Amino acid sequence: MAKLPTSPKDDVAAFLKKVKDVPAPTYGKPGERGRLVFAMDATASREPSWDQACQIQGEMFSETAALGGLEVQLVFYRGFGECRASKWAPNATELLRLMTGVRCRGGQTQISKVLDHAKREAEKHRINALVFVGDAVEEDIDRVCHKAGELGLLGVPMFLFHEGGDLVAERGFRELARLTGGAYSRFDSGSAQQLKDLLSAVAVYAAGGRRALLEYGEAKGGNVLRLTHQVSGKR
């Protein structure tokens, strides 16, 4: 098992370095927007981070506007067997409206249902990336991994953001990232900027691929520029 980064900055850098090795997204017709499934655990333990994600989700759209934009579908699970998917949101205002209408409720994880849904969507029309934000795995991990492998065969990488320090969840999330050719990163409820950087990076990747991600770093400057230099491999 890989050694955990020792700081938020190291965590972001390690994540972005991993993004470098993810195959470039496959696009449909010229001019089509990137499509990203944004899946979140909406069980009771996740309520503070749900509110945080609502506040920063607009970054995913603003950073991809020059690349032709991004469409995002919200998927969440909560309560007793409830797993829902929204329509595709074409802008930050619409996604925020969808997210703020959700209230977290106690229940167990339903990652398998998220993967089943993503597979069905990808079979209908290409998906450039699946983002998942959660803190636990309470399902048969072998069953979940099998479904992730099927998603990987469709060319949909999973980018998993892990809140907290649950080691079972970490092992599971890392394996899902490996099987789909995606990436894994930890964050905590006090690192809003870290999560913003990571979500923005994946959104830029989904909309324009690795080259766009590197150009994003050049335009953003500061810490993001330093981090994306680690991604480039001088491509």
Residue 180 lies in a domain: yes
Supply 69's token pair: 């934009």
The Cα–Cα gap between 5 and 155 comes to: 28
How many domains does the chain divide into? Answer: 1
The Cα–Cα gap between 96 and 3 comes to: 35
| pLDDT tens, N- to C-terminus, the chain (235 residues) | 344 445 555 665 666 666 656 665 554 455 578 899 999 999 988 887 777 778 777 777 777 776 777 899 999 999 999 999 999 998 888 888 888 889 999 999 999 999 999 999 999 999 999 999 999 999 999 999 999 999 999 999 998 889 888 999 999 999 999 999 888 888 776 667 777 877 888 888 888 877 787 777 677 655 455 445 543 433 3
The Cα–Cα gap between 36 and 88 comes to: 9
pTM of the model: 0.81
Identify the CA nearest to 95 among candidates 62, 118, 67, 47: 62
pLDDT of 2:
40
Residue 186 lies in a domain: yes
Residue 185 lies in a domain: yes
How distant, in Å, are the alpha carbons of 46, 139, 148 from that of 57? 16, 28, 25
Strand partners, 158: 130
Identify the CA nearest to 37 among candidates 165, 130, 101, 109: 130
Residue 51 lies in a domain: yes
Residue 190 lies in a domain: yes
Structural domain that includes position 173: 36-232
Residue 14 lies in a domain: no
Identify the CA nearest to 67 among candidates 194, 200, 198, 221: 200
Supply 153's token pair: 């065969």
Residue 214 lies in a domain: yes
Residue 40 lies in a domain: yes
**In CATH, what number is assigned to the domain containing residue 177?**
3.40.50.410
pLDDT of 16:
60
* Amino acid found at 19: V
